Chain A
Amino acid sequence: MSATKTELMPVLSGDDVRTTTGRETTLRSVFASTNVRAVLIVIAIFGGGFWLWNVSTERGWVSPLLLAPPEAVGEALGRMFSDGTIWTNLAATAQITILGLTIAIVLALLISFLFVFSESLRKAVYPMLIIIQTFPKVAIAPLIIAGFGYGTTPKVILAALMAFFPILVNALVGMTNINNDQVNLFRSVGASKWQVIRKLRIPNAISYLLPALNSAAVLALIGTIVAEFVSAREGMGFAIQAAVQTGSVGTTFALLFVLGCFGVAIWLTMAGLNFLLRKYQR
């Protein structure tokens, strides 16, 4: 289908092409590599950004109420890690995010399964779920907290609510987006309904689920932070709000930096999960 597919010369794949480029590594060839260039671009952006940040705070281009100087952020980071408060907050946020995400995954998969088995159930319930989905969930955060108290429960609910939808929609599309030929192929070899699910629908759904899980994890984190903004005694959302209210700009930036790192960690965890799912898919 693509132009790179070569029927007549199947020998001319990958390996042979590579050998023709030669082996000696000159400075020119190092810079020609897109990876090397990408790393250079990253260094330039971070270096330039840091320099601009430093200069603009030093010379008072930006008010210290909006942008803390690097040393203030560094100092705040050091303090948080030495007195251990960052770990308390991070642990609280991580716990809620992971719980919410897990609940969302289990529920979404369960419901998508039920929907595959019952067309009428899907037709009845799916529109309702769409309505819930279109509703801005952040807006109902105070309501959920009023309803479920100030403990972990309402925060987990909000995190799960945020993450639930992309998983459900993608699981459902993946399980049902099967063409006639594929179904006929399975029928022609005498596959049972369960075999069609296990060998066709689920593996197909996994292809759709992989990208959905990444965004669901990030959404769960957003839900958690929002819930912590509204009401919490610990957690990253709580800490950020406290820092903003006391005017500690350095602490705020330090917390945001840690939160960013946590987001990357979640993303990497999901990538690992993807890898495991791919193995299961076969």
Chain B
Amino acid sequence: MSASLAERTRLGGVSVDGVSKVFRRKRLEIHALSETNVEFERGEFVSLIGPSGCGKSTLLKLIAGLDTPTSGQIRAGGEVVSGTLPSASVAFQKPTLLSWRNVTDNILLPIEIRNGRPSKADHAYAAELIEMMGLQDFASHYPRELSGGMEQRAAIARSLITRPDLLLMDEPFGALDEFTREDLNEELLRLWNAEPKTVIFVTHSISEAVFLSDRIVVMSARPGRIVDVIDVDLPRPRSARTRTSPEFNELVRRGRVSLEAAKAAGGPTHDAEAGGKP
């Protein structure tokens, strides 16, 4: 384990090679993901977008090692993913904070799990992340005392506390209102700029994907597969002004066309992807 750990911690790039995932539910076979090939380069910000049931969350879970592919291979940092990666971190759609821990202790949870008691340096880094997420006045508040946006900020700080090379985000802002979401998009990019890492970001929102990403991977349902990849060549750093540029709007339009085609290819999308919004 320790021999491969050094290698694993240098991870960042991910390659998905002929991966498919089939769920069996009472004789029914659901092809959540079929023969998928995609590369995520080190330090790249890539969004996965597609209609409900297209397997974008499944793909993310497979990369995170929370689930195993039915066939194919996923390599992270050159090594086959089996089990969860110490150098990867996951942010979920729900903040998933523990109600009995305050913000600081929630953020330090991954450290506690991995190393036992958090060190002074860990506490200092937690304080830094809290500051970066604008939560400095709420460090010792409990989740019930926070707004939805603040809870999600704390959850993101928690996903960064282990200094991951690979950040996997499953619609982290899906439940937030437009303004909070845009604020958090900008903050996420600031963090990503400050400490470059590979980010794979699942979303339902085309404009969010365009704003954040280097590339957008468009997926289609039934079976879940990749149907298009859009390169986003907007200059960085991006800001609120980016959103009003004609290039941005052109890319959003392209994304929409591609997504409509994906929807048409996948047939009607009535099946439930938990908590999904159109």
A6 to B64: give the CA distance in the assembly, Å: 34
Cross-interface CB contact of B86 among A182, A190, A282, cutoff 8 Å: A190
A13 to B137: give the CA distance in the assembly, Å: 10
Q: Is the CB of A207 within 8 A of B114?
A: no
Q: Is the CB of A199 within 8 A of B66?
A: no
- Interface magnitude class on chain A: 20 to 34
Q: Identify the stretch in B37-45, B144-152, B244-252, B263-271 within 8 Å (CB) of chain A at 4 or more residues.
A: B144-152
Cross-interface CB contact of A7 among B83, B90, B113, B149, cutoff 8 Å: B149
Chain B, residues 110-135, CB within 8 Å of chain A (1/0): the string is 10111000000000000000000000
Chain B, residues 79-92, CB within 8 Å of chain A (1/0): the string is 00001101011101
A267 to B113: give the CA distance in the assembly, Å: 36
CB of A262 within 8 A of chain B?
Answer: no
Q: Smallest distance from the beta carbon of B149 to chain A beta carbons, Å?
A: 5
Cross-interface CB contact of A203 among B66, B92, B100, cutoff 8 Å: B100
Residues of A contacting B20 in the complex (Cβ-Cβ under 8 angstroms): none
**Those of A185-216 within 8 Å (CB) of chain B:** 185-191, 195, 199-200, 203-204, 206-207
CB of B99 within 8 A of chain A?
Answer: yes
Q: Is the CB of A282 within 8 A of B84?
A: no
Q: Is the CB of A10 within 8 A of B137?
A: yes
Cross-interface CB contact of B113 among A199, A206, A278, cutoff 8 Å: A199
Residues of A contacting B150 in the complex (Cβ-Cβ under 8 angstroms): 5, 7, 10
A281 to B112: give the CA distance in the assembly, Å: 14
Q: Smallest distance from the beta carbon of B184 to chain A beta carbons, Å?
A: 11
Residues of A contacting B99 in the complex (Cβ-Cβ under 8 angstroms): 207
Q: Is the interface of A mostly helix, strand, loop or mixed?
A: helix
A-B contacts, 22 listed (Cβ < 8 Å) = A1-B148, A5-B147, A5-B148, A6-B147, A7-B150, A10-B137, A10-B150, A11-B137, A181-B93, A181-B96, A185-B92, A185-B96, A188-B88, A189-B109, A189-B162, A190-B83, A190-B86, A190-B113, A203-B100, A206-B100, A207-B99, A282-B101
Known: A5-B147, A7-B147, A282-B105. A189 touches B98 (CB 8 A): no
Q: Smallest distance from the beta carbon of B137 to chain A beta carbons, Å?
A: 6
Chain A, residues 160-196, CB within 8 Å of chain B (1/0): the string is 0000000000000000000101101111111100010
Residues of B contacting A281 in the complex (Cβ-Cβ under 8 angstroms): 100
Known: A5-B146, A189-B84, A282-B101. A181 touches B113 (CB 8 A): no
CB of B138 within 8 A of chain A?
Answer: yes
B interface residues (Cβ-Cβ under 8 A, vs A): 61, 64-66, 83-84, 86, 88-90, 92-94, 96, 98-101, 105, 109-110, 112-114, 137-138, 145-150, 162, 180
Q: Smallest distance from the beta carbon of B14 to chain A beta carbons, Å?
A: 15
A48 to B65: give the CA distance in the assembly, Å: 69
User: A192: nearest residue on chain B (CB-CB)?
Assistant: B113
Residues of B contacting A282 in the complex (Cβ-Cβ under 8 angstroms): 100-101, 105
Cross-interface CB contact of B114 among A10, A184, A187, A190, cutoff 8 Å: A190
Q: Smallest distance from the beta carbon of A74 to chain B beta carbons, Å?
A: 47
Q: Is the CB of B113 within 8 A of A189?
A: yes
Q: Is the CB of B147 within 8 A of A184?
A: no
Q: Is the CB of B90 within 8 A of A184?
A: yes
Q: Is the CB of B92 within 8 A of A189?
A: no
Q: Is the CB of A188 within 8 A of B90?
A: yes
Q: Is the CB of A200 within 8 A of B98?
A: yes
Known: A200-B98, A207-B100, A281-B100. A189 touches B114 (CB 8 A): yes
Q: Smallest distance from the beta carbon of A144 to chain B beta carbons, Å?
A: 39
Residues of A contacting B90 in the complex (Cβ-Cβ under 8 angstroms): 184-185, 188
**Those of A1-52 within 8 Å (CB) of chain B:** 1, 5-7, 10-11, 13
Q: Is the CB of A184 within 8 A of B113?
A: no
Q: Is the CB of B113 within 8 A of A195?
A: yes
User: A6: nearest residue on chain B (CB-CB)?
Assistant: B147
Cross-interface CB contact of B180 among A7, A11, A203, cutoff 8 Å: A7
A48 to B245: give the CA distance in the assembly, Å: 76
A184 to B93: give the CA distance in the assembly, Å: 12
Residues of B contacting A1 in the complex (Cβ-Cβ under 8 angstroms): 147-148
User: B148: nearest residue on chain A (CB-CB)?
Assistant: A1
Residues of A contacting B114 in the complex (Cβ-Cβ under 8 angstroms): 189-190
Residues of B contacting A182 in the complex (Cβ-Cβ under 8 angstroms): 96, 98
User: B136: nearest residue on chain A (CB-CB)?
Assistant: A10
A278 to B142: give the CA distance in the assembly, Å: 13
Q: Is the CB of A186 within 8 A of B138?
A: no
A278 to B102: give the CA distance in the assembly, Å: 13
Known: A7-B180, A195-B113, A199-B113. A187 touches B84 (CB 8 A): yes
Residues of B contacting A203 in the complex (Cβ-Cβ under 8 angstroms): 98, 100
Q: List 4 A-B pairs, minimum CB-CB distance, nearest first.
A: A5-B147, A189-B110, A7-B147, A188-B90
**Those of A86-115 within 8 Å (CB) of chain B:** none
Known: A181-B96, A207-B99, A207-B100. A188 touches B149 (CB 8 A): no
A185 to B155: give the CA distance in the assembly, Å: 10
